[in-house]
Amino acid sequence: MTASSFQRPLYLADQVRELDRRAIDAEGDGFALMRRAGESAYEVLCARWPGIRRVCVLCGGGNNGGDGYIVAALAAADGVAVDLVALKPVAELEGDARRAAELAAEAGVVPVAWNDELTLDGELMVDAMLGTGAHGAPRPPYAAAISEVNASGCPVMALDAPSGVDVDTGHIETEAVAATLTVTFVGDKLGLHTGAALDVVGDVIYAPLGVDPRSHGGIAPVAWLQTRQDLARALPPRRPGSHKGIYGHVLVVAGAPGMGGAALMTSEMVARVGAGKVSLATDAAHVSASLTRFPEIMARGVRGAPDLEAMIESADTVAIGPGIGNGAWGQAALRSVLDAGKPCVVDADALNLLAREESGIHRDDWVLTPHPGEAGRLLGISTAEVERDRRDAVIALQRRWGGTVVLKGAGTLVYDGDRLTLCPFGNPGMASGGMGDALTGIIAGLSGQLASLGEAARIGVLLHALAADAAALDAGERGLLATDLASYARTLANPQPVSSHADHA
């Protein structure tokens, strides 16, 4: 994929600290950068909570605390009542944080030292305890202060990151501040957008503070955050001279005996995102339901390997896995697909069969779409280990199995061996059966319309999440079904006006 000027680069904590350092070297003044951090945070605070009268700012002993002292100074100067809780005595602060604390004192802010008897109060908590300098689980007294912030029941604005979140991975070792909003500075951080962190970051607002990370050569982002515009760029209007032969013939291999729903959901999505032709190889018992529901899909009952081999032969891409089970039907189907060597999208039961039976396989022309449990089986580690460092897991999966790997879950990651993208869309309504089948169908359905399987995986993940968001916006997250996505997926697959002869008349 060509580097996109719209996608936002994501960094690790050490990289952002290096960006800070280079920006400070260029400017010759670290305090100016800290002042801008505080100012931009205070601007966000006033926009989100206009007319606020009382805030409680909790400041740690490092520069994240320094940002908090600046916010406190600005709020006090505005006539807002400020309770400032210092996790480290001001007399022990150093450098820019010390200067920031002096500024707050000049504005009339009187810090109170943290102690376990404190009751936190205010209309808003500002979490300036731990930022990019944090390592490991929060130690005392930070751990207790984090719990107290969460117990306060107040909205929380986190500076740079919610304290307790690992900004590299999104992992939360013990407890993290549950923020309503996070303002993050200089370079956006990967760990604010994936995994457990998504439960606590709230809305993430990126404040570059006048630093363009891309101007600091040599610090390559670890990932890129997708945007809605990616969809329009990838899926321009169709050429008026189009015919179905140029948009791909996808074969869905799905639905062992008793699992016909997965076959229908997958193949419907292939068709709804615009594949030229869709075939379905499934258990014979599911064929009539498929023909009734989608006469456009060429459904056939598979009795044995020769049947399937003929169908694979005429397809451009194969999607295999949803509802194939782990019995003889699924094993035979997977073997035929792998032996045929066609580009494929592999999901669900097929991934579990792979993990069990295919020890040495490594291919370029496939997309694997594991959820964290399947990813763990493919790597021989636990689900918790996958979730602890999702970036690490998706990279390990791609190295081990090749092709493009989609690690599903909140903050889905897609890695093709070169570029790591992160999808910031989607919602908890997607935690329902069939959503993975829909994604497999979308990726396979786009494969004949985009330049590579990797691009189909990236755009498919984006389209799937945006379709779920649109569906949830209409009728809520709870009760969202995979089949609800179909009409939204179709709309999103046409992000620009559809070409028509009338326009040219």
Interface with K ion (CB under 5 A): 127, 158-159, 163
The residue (of 20 and 437) whose beta carbon lies closer to ligand NPW is 20
| Choice from 9, 19, 60, 414 touching ligand NPW (CB under 6 A) | 60
Instruction: Choose between 136 and 497: whose C-beta lies nearer to ligand NPW.
Output: 136
The residue (of 186 and 414) whose beta carbon lies closer to ligand NPW is 186
**CB-wise, 33 or 250, nearer to ligand NPW?**
33
Q: Which is nearer to ligand NPW, 30 or 322 (CB)?
A: 30
State the number of CA atoms in the 13 A half-sphere of 152 facing the CB.
27
330 binds, among K ion, ligand NPW, none (CB under 5 to 8 A by kind): none
Chain mean position to CA 206: 16
Full 3-state SS string of 193-254:
CCHHHHHCCCEEEEECCCCCHHHCCCCCCCEEECCCHHHHHHCCCCCCCCCHHHCCEEEEEC
Q: Which CB atom, from 206 or from 294, has the smaller least distance to K ion?
A: 206
Q: How many CB atoms lie within 10 A of CB 293?
A: 13
Q: Give the pairing type, strands 404-407 and 413-415.
A: antiparallel
How wide is the angle at C-alpha 359 spanned by C-alphas 281 and 326, nearest 5°? Answer: 40
Using CB under 6 A as the binding rule, whether residue 132 contacts ligand NPW is answered as yes
> 111, 122, 131, 213: which one contacts ligand NPW (CB under 6 A)?
131
Q: Which is nearer to ligand NPW, 24 or 46 (CB)?
A: 24
How far is the CA of 26 from the CAs of 29, 32, 188, 410, in angstroms? Answer: 8, 12, 20, 37
**How many chain residues are in contact with ligand NPW, going by CB under 6 A?**
30
The C-alpha atoms of residue 212 and residue 23 are separated, in whole angstroms, by 9
Instruction: Choose, by CB under 6 A, the member of 7, 64, 267, 279 that binds ligand NPW.
Output: 64
Distance CA 403, CA 364 (A): 4
151 assigned binding-site residue: no
When binding is defined by CB under 6 A, the residue of 15, 19, 20, 343 that contacts ligand NPW is 20
Q: Which range, of 135-143, 373-381, 396-404, 451-459, touches ligand NPW by CB under 6 A?
A: 135-143
Tokens encoding 449: 């319309």
Q: Would the annotation count 137 as a binding residue?
A: yes
Exposed (0-12), middle (13-18) or buried (19+): which is 243, by Cβ within 10 Å?
exposed
- Of the residues 12, 19, 37, 200, which one makes contact with ligand NPW according to CB under 6 A: 37
**Site membership for ligand NPW, residue 416 (CB under 6 A):** no
Reading the block at residue 393, the tokens are: 């897991």
SS3 content of the chain, % helix, strand, coil (to 5): 45, 15, 40
Residue 138 interaction partner, one of K ion, ligand NPW, none, beta carbon < 5-8 Å per kind: ligand NPW
Q: Which does 132 bind (CB under 5 to 8 A by kind): ligand NPW, K ion, none?
A: ligand NPW
Rounded to whole angstroms, how far apart are CA atoms 280 and 266?
9
Please tell me the distance from the alpha carbon of residue 269 to that of residue 493, in angstroms, as a whole number: 11
* 17: number of Cβ within 10 Å: 17
Rounded to a whole number of angstroms, the minimum distance from the CB of residue 256 to ligand NPW is: 49
Q: How far is the CB of 353 from ligand NPW (least distance, A)?
A: 42
Q: What is the spatial distance between Cα 284 and Cα 301, in angstroms, rounded to a whole number?
A: 4
Question: Which has the closest alpha carbon to 39: 223, 210, 255, 177?
Answer: 210
Is 133 an interacting residue with respect to ligand NPW (CB under 6 A)?
yes
Does position 188 interact with ligand NPW (CB under 6 A)? The reply is no
- Is 436 known as a binding-site position? yes
Give the Cα separation of 276 and 264 in Å (integer).
Answer: 17
Q: Is 325 helix (H, G, I), strand (E, B) or coil?
A: coil
Q: Lay out the site mask for ligand NPW across 141-160 (x = CB under 6 A, - = otherwise).
A: -x----------------xx
Cβ neighbours for 430, distance < 8 A, ≥ 6 positions apart: 465, 468, 480
In the complex with ligand NPW, which residue's Cβ is closer, 30 or 321?
30
Applying CB under 6 A, which of residues 9, 30, 325, 429 lies at the interface with ligand NPW? 30
Residue 133 among known ligand-binding residues: yes
State the binding site for (6S)-NADPHX.
63-67, 131-137, 142, 160, 262, 323, 371, 437
State the binding site for K(+).
64, 127, 163
State the binding site.
63-67, 127, 131-137, 142, 160, 163, 262, 323, 371, 408-412, 436-437
- Contacts with ligand NPW by CB under 6 A lie at 20, 24, 30, 33-34, 37, 60-67, 96, 130-139, 142, 159-160, 185-186
